[in-house]
């Protein structure tokens, strides 16, 4: 049997194949930022994936950067997500929730009492937008504003928000969580040395200081729900949302890899942003990361069946994440296993809307 379709155990989670549905924002949450029956149907259709990683789910109102994205910080949201976990489990699938705090990629209209957005430092993300109500009250891309820097006391509160959200995820029936530390959002805003020039224990030139928050979140979540149910997503050399190169960049990511390796997590999930129009992970870095991090490794970024098989055979990863192919191919595992053709997705329906372009893509029929 081809390795891509063989079972695997990642921490406390046993999966039936090595195909991972990568997290993708679809902006179809109900009133109150709540996942609903339509969300449940979307993920149920894709339950043959070895593991589903949900779209980002904000851990607090402060962590919200987009309209119509689901949260995981109140009881209504927990009950909404229960519909999804039940539906996926009834189909024999496994699913983890991605924990999300956008940091500075937000707008006061998305914050409680129109509060100021937050980040590692008070620096605006240039040429960046979130998804909010514009000046005419219509939803759409809105330029982000200059955030304020979190105080040390507030950083502690953010860590507890992650813990609260992780516990809520387990109560909602998820098999685990993935901490979102990629794509220019809050945790990467601390990791990136081109942005984070704080002068305390959470920033500056010190690699240890800049990765501190990501590790504190990882440790706190692991302690709350178990390391075997905890994963984290990273985007080494990521450039989304005004992230820039910095001195010692490779050393920072490899130090983080070594630290995560010592924590016996369920997985680390690397995102290569080349398919998103950003810089690719430099050639050869994947091998260095693999040598530094000894646990289960997922890699996502433009894979098809052939390149996924080659990556697994070479030993560069244990599992392969697929994003956009899952939008229009709910039966992606079966299609790849049988070499059936794939359906192309309609980009116009990626974000927002109804079941059109969401749950109406057909399963393959000969």
Is residue 160 domain-resident? Answer: yes
Domain housing 94: 3-349
Quote the pLDDT of residue 272.
85
Quote the pLDDT of residue 307.
94
**Alpha carbon distances (Å) from 270 to 84, 224, 357:** 25, 24, 27
Would you state the structure tokens that stand for residue 1, as one six-digit string? 């049997």
Question: Confidence class of residue 303 from pLDDT cuts 50, 70 and 90?
Answer: very high
Question: Confidence class of residue 279 from pLDDT cuts 50, 70 and 90?
Answer: low
Q: Is 185 a catalytic residue?
A: yes
Q: Which range is least confidently modeled, 8-17, 54-63, 269-278? A: 269-278
Quote the pLDDT of residue 117.
98
CA-based radius of gyration for the chain: 19
pLDDT surpassing 80 at residue 320: yes
Is residue 361 domain-resident? Answer: no
Q: What is the mean pLDDT of the chain?
A: 95
pLDDT surpassing 90 at residue 69: yes
pLDDT surpassing 90 at residue 134: no
Overall number of domains in the chain: 1
Is residue 366 domain-resident? Answer: no
Is residue 254 domain-resident? Answer: yes
Q: Are strands 129-133 and 139-143 parallel, antiparallel or unpaired?
A: antiparallel
CATH number, domain of 205, equals 3.20.20.70
Residue 240 phi, psi dihedral angles, 5° rounding: -65, 150
Is residue 231 domain-resident? Answer: yes
SS3 129: strand
Q: What is the pTM of this model?
A: 0.97
pLDDT surpassing 90 at residue 57: yes
Q: Among 15, 22, 3, 11, which residue's Cα sits nearest to residue 235?
A: 22
SS3 51: strand
- Beta-carbon count within 10 A of 165 CB: 27
pLDDT per position as a tens digit, 287-302: 999 999 999 999 998 8
Question: In the 8-state DSSP scheme, what is residue 323?
Answer: -
Please tell me which residue in 185, 202, 326, 361 is annotated as part of the active site.
185
Q: Residue 73 and residue 60: Cα distance in Å, rounded?
A: 6
pLDDT per position as a tens digit, 92-123: 999 999 999 999 999 999 999 999 999 999 99
**How many Å is the maximal CA-CA distance in the chain?**
62
pLDDT surpassing 80 at residue 273: no
Question: Confidence class of residue 308 from pLDDT cuts 50, 70 and 90?
Answer: very high
Is residue 14 domain-resident? Answer: yes
Quote the pLDDT of residue 102.
98
Would you state the structure tokens that stand for residue 315, as one six-digit string? 């030993």
Is residue 297 domain-resident? Answer: yes
Is residue 354 domain-resident? Answer: no
Question: In the 8-state DSSP scheme, what is residue 11?
Answer: T
- Report the pLDDT averaged over residues 121-142: 92
């Amino acid at each position: 049997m081809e390795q891509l379709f063989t079972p695997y155990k990642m921490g406390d989670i046993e999966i039936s194949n090595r195909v991972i549905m990568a997290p993708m924002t679809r902006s179809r949450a109900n009133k109150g930022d709540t996942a609903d029956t339509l969300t449940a149907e979307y993920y149920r259709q894709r339950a043959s994936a070895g593991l589903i990683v949900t779209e980002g789910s904000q851990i607090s109102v402060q962590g919200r950067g987009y309209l119509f994205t689901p949260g995981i910080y109140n009881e209504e949201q927990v009950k909404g997500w229960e519909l999804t976990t039940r539906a996926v489990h009834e189909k024999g699938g496994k699913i983890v929730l991605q924990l999300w705090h956008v940091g500075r990629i937000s707008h006061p209209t998305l914050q409680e009492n129109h509060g100021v957005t937050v980040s590692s430092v008070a620096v605006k993300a240039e040429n960046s937008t979130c998804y909010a109500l514009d000046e005419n009250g219509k939803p759409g891309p809105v330029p982000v504003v200059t955030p304020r820097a979190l105080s040390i006391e507030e950083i502690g509160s953010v860590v507890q928000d992650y813990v609260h959200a992780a516990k809520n995820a387990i109560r909602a029936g998820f098999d685990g969580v993935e901490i979102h530390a990629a794509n220019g959002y809050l945790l990467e805003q601390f990791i990136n040395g081109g942005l984070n020039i704080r002068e305390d224990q959470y920033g500056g030139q010190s690699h240890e200081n800049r990765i501190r928050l990501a590790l504190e979140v990882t440790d706190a979540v692991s302690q709350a729900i178990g390391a075997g149910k905890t994963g984290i997503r990273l985007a080494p050399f990521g450039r989304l949302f005004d992230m820039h190169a910095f001195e010692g960049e490779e050393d920072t990511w490899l130090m983080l890899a070594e630290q995560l390796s010592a924590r016996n997590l369920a997985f680390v999930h690397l995102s290569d942003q080349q398919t998103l129009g950003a810089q690719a992970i430099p050639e050869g870095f994947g091998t260095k990361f693999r040598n530094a991090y000894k646990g289960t490794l997922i890699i996502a970024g433009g894979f098809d069946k052939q390149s996924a098989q080659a990556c697994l055979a070479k030993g560069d990863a244990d599992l392969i994440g697929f994003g956009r192919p899952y939008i229009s191919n709910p039966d992606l595992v079966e299609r790849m296993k049988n070499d059936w053709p794939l359906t192309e997705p309609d980009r116009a329906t990626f974000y927002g809307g109804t079941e059109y372009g969401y749950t109406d893509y057909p399963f393959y029929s000969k």
